[in-house]
């Protein structure tokens, strides 16, 4: 990822005159990463995309770290106090200089547009459905979708059924794992997914409603802008920069004769973190294999595991929407009895999302308020 896409009408060359049937010039906009040195798309507007008619107040956002004890945590995110649209419902739970991890219980459709100006986003749709609308086109949302949003994409979500969403904001680009791509960027044969698994935007007719508000997320808050023209007034675009969706159920697990380590489940990467997908799969086929994972001292990473559905065979007392947080510096692994219980098992039906960060995470008060304080003692044999 990415790969070339083309939608709507575009001229046969970049940066040349492109006119409508009345002879009016379309407005070309280059949307690019790393200045002019990385992926980009060229989009063509009916009106100038720069026409701001009002600048609103900055709505300050400050993430505060809770005074947390260094221990394992079990966060029951189903109990988080959250409602509103896909932006206002976000409750930050963990953060560091690389990522912010939030939970959102999305009950309302968005009435304004939104763009993150300083971070890429990954929205994992746990429950619910809706329509994702953007300046690149529309995509239907369903459970299991990872919605990958490069910074700068302008979007909104209309809710069909209320959604439960795990949100990851990244200060760096979110990409597929480097080891699964060839020098041209194509996903390799041994990758657990391929380009045909990605859903890309369906082109829609230009939107000409005016004016419209766009909320721009920055490091320290959200700045509102009033635009004279709707930014979805696009007649065509092409390039390598756009939002896309990968569904967790399309991840093809890599299995082996003995237990495979978590990197085989990696789905995305960013600076300072990875996202992995645990999906239904066959267990190891060595005659003496131990299907349950071995205890692990994660000395260089914090581990967030978000439980989606199924039988979580290495742990007890875990429910859907739970997050287990195992910080660096402490071993973690199966609870007593779970290794013996796994012997002879042929497959698992678990579904979970793991986020490993390589810098320590801070917890918020919202996370601590739904924490199971007895979780650190869940490995006791008595």
- pLDDT for residue 97: 96
Neighbours of 263 (CB within 10 A): 12
> Quick one: which of 302, 238, 234, 244 has its CA closest to 46?
234
Alpha carbon 40 to chain centroid, angstroms:
20
pTM score, two decimals?
0.96
Mean pLDDT of 356-363: 97
- pLDDT for residue 1: 59
- pLDDT for residue 43: 98
pLDDT score of 68 more than 90: no
- pLDDT for residue 105: 98
pLDDT score of 327 more than 70: yes
Mean pLDDT of 18-23: 97
Lowest-pLDDT range, 24-28, 68-72, 138-142, 249-253? Answer: 68-72
pLDDT score of 368 more than 90: yes
- Arithmetic mean of pLDDT over the chain: 94
Q: What is the 3-state secondary structure of the chain?
A: CCCCEEEECCCCCCCCCCECCCCCECEEEEEECCCCCCCEEEEEECCCCCCEEEEEEEEECCCCCCCCCCCCEEEEHHHCCCCCCCCCCEEEEEECCCEEEEEEEECCCCCCEEEECCCEEEEEEEEEEEEEEECCEEEEECCCEEEEECCCCCEEEEEEEEEEEEEEEECCCCECCHHHECCCCCECCCCCCCHHHCECCECCCCCCCCCEEEEEEECCEEEEEEECCCCCCEEEEEECCCCEEEEHHHCCCCCCCCCCCHHHHEEEEECCEEEEEECCEECCCCCCCCCCCCCEECCCCEEEEEEEECCCCCCCCCCCCEEEEECCCCEECCCCCHHHHHCCCCEECCEEEEEEECCCCEECHHHHCCECCCHHHCCCCC
pLDDT tens, residue by residue, 204-239: 999 988 889 999 999 999 999 999 999 999 999 999
Q: What confidence category does residue 150 fall into, taking pLDDT thresholds of 50, 70 and 90?
A: very high
User: For a pLDDT cut of 70, what percent of the chain falls above it?
Assistant: 99
pLDDT score of 312 more than 80: no
Q: What confidence category does residue 355 fall into, taking pLDDT thresholds of 50, 70 and 90?
A: very high
- pLDDT for residue 215: 96
Mean pLDDT of 177-201: 95
Torsion of CA 151, 278, 301, 95, to 10 degrees: 40
Q: What confidence category does residue 315 fall into, taking pLDDT thresholds of 50, 70 and 90?
A: confident
> Quick one: which of 307, 277, 272 has its CA closest to 120?
272
* Full set of structural domains in the chain with CATH: 249-377 (2.60.120.10)
pLDDT tens, residue by residue, 34-52: 999 999 999 999 999 999 9
Please give the structure tokens belonging to residue 139: 């995509």
- pLDDT for residue 222: 96
Mean pLDDT of 165-178: 97
Whole-angstrom distance, CA of residue 74 vs CA of residue 323: 6
């Amino acid at each position: 990822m990415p790969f070339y896409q083309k939608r709507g009408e575009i001229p046969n060359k970049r940066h040349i005159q492109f006119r409508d049937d009345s002879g009016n010039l379309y407005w070309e906009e280059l949307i690019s990463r790393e200045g002019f040195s990385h992926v980009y798309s060229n989009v063509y507007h009916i009106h100038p995309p720069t026409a701001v008619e009002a600048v609103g107040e900055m709505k300050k956002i400050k993430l505060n770290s809770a005074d947390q004890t260094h221990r394992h945590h079990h966060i029951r995110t189903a109990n988080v106090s959250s409602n509103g649209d896909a932006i206002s419902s976000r409750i930050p739970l963990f953060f560091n200089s690389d990522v912010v991890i939030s939970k959102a219980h999305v009950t309302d459709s968005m009435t304004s547009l939104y763009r993150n100006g300083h971070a890429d986003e990954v929205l994992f749709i746990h429950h619910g459905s809706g329509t994702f609308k953007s300046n690149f086109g529309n995509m239907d949302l369903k459970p299991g979708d990872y919605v990958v949003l490069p910074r700068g994409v302008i979007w909104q979500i209309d809710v069909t059924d209320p959604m439960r969403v795990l949100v990851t904001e990244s200060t760096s680009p979110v990409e597929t794992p480097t080891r699964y791509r060839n020098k041209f960027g194509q996903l390799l044969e041994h990758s657990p997914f391929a380009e045909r698994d990605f859903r890309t935007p369906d082109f829609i007719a230009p939107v000409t409603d005016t004016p419209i508000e766009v909320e721009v997320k920055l490091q320290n808050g959200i700045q509102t802008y009033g635009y004279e023209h709707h930014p979805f007034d696009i007649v065509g675009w092409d390039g390598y920069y756009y939002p896309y969706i990968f569904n967790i159920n399309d991840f093809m697990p890599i299995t082996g004769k003995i237990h495979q380590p978590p990197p085989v489940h990696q789905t995305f990467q960013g600076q300072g973190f990875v996202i992995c997908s645990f999906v239904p799969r066959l267990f190891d086929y060595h005659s003496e294999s131990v299907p349950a994972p071995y205890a692990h001292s994660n000395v260089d990473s914090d581990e967030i595991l978000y439980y989606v559905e199924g039988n979580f065979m290495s742990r007890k007392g875990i429910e859907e929407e739970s997050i287990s947080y195992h910080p660096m510096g402490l071993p973690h692994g199966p609870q007593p009895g779970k290794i013996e219980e796994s012997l002879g098992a042929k497959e698992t039906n678990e579904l979970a999302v793991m986020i490993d960060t390589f810098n320590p995470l801070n917890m918020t008060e919202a996370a601590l308020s739904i924490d199971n304080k007895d979780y650190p003692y869940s490995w006791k044999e008595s």
